[in-house]
Amino acid sequence: MKKLLSWSNIRLILIFGIVISLYSFTSHRNNNRKLKKSVVVFVGDNPLFLKREAVNKLLIENRSNASSIEKDKLDLNKLENTLDANDMIEESDVFVSIDGVLKAVVKQKTPIARVLDENSSFYIGYEGSKMPLSDNFTARVPLVSGVINEKNEQKLIALFRFIYDDEFLKKNIIAIEIRPNGSLKMHNRDFDYQIDFGSIIKVEDKFRNYKAFYQKAILDSSLYNYKKIDLRFSQQVVCTK
């Protein structure tokens, strides 16, 4: 009768058992270790609307510092949800590095307009959500006045996004008034004229006409002579002196 287990097989089993035991011991000891520190990294081109200290306070959950936290007590998903719930943060990624550092990689929201109403002032982010003003930095975005409601909100957000994505419009349009009838009046940065944009329709065509008119009129300095630029007509730009 053949032996069920040879010495070589027994030796392999013993070695395997020792490796498993060492791994379990090391893993347990590693999880019981305390973190060394916490680090907050901001990604993207936006200036800092949030201070690192404020994000770090959320990250270490109001403890004095990260070195008082044991690794096995961490709930990384909970920390990410806490950071993502902040009105200035678009998304975050929280993890612990091999050397025991708690890291948060944070992407801030991008403001594309600043709304002024009777009760408050806030930014509208690129994705359409509200974003509070920051004590750390003021964004140079169009100042919006008038009523934003369920009927016009999505069209307005698309308009703000269009302006933000166009380098010329981003520098040129500094204010937008929403009239009671839903039409828009805009103000530019360098000249005294107002822009009668009309309803939020054919946005791309209207801005294309405005840019073409501006590039032509800037050459002969005639922009100083106008009080109003009317973009309501799709095939032409009407100017009032």
Q: For 211-241, what is each residue's pLDDT tens digit? A: 999 998 888 888 888 899 999 987 788 888 8
The secondary element (H helix, E strand) that includes residue 10 is: helix 7-32
Residue 12 is predicted with a pLDDT of 67
Residue 190: HSE in the Cβ half-sphere, 13 Å Cα cutoff:
11
Structural tokens at position 8 = 């070589």
Q: Which residues, 6 or more positions from 156, have their beta carbon under 8 angstroms from its beta carbon? A: 144, 148, 178, 200
Amino acid at 206: K
Beta strands at 130-132 and 238-240: parallel, antiparallel or unpaired: unpaired
What are the distances in angstroms from CA 18 to CA 9, 14, 22, 24? 14, 6, 6, 10
Mean confidence (pLDDT) of the chain: 86
Percent of the chain, pLDDT > 90?
A: 56
Residue 29 is predicted with a pLDDT of 46
Residue 15 is predicted with a pLDDT of 67
> Which residues of the chain have a pLDDT value below 50?
1-2, 21, 23-31
User: 196 near 152, Cβ under 8 Å?
Assistant: no
Q: What single DSSP character describes residue 35?
A: P
pTM: 0.80
Residue 18 is predicted with a pLDDT of 62
Q: Count other Cβ atoms within 10 Å, centred on residue 152.
A: 17
Residue 25 is predicted with a pLDDT of 40
Count of all residues that appear for the chain in the document: 241
Residue 35 is predicted with a pLDDT of 82
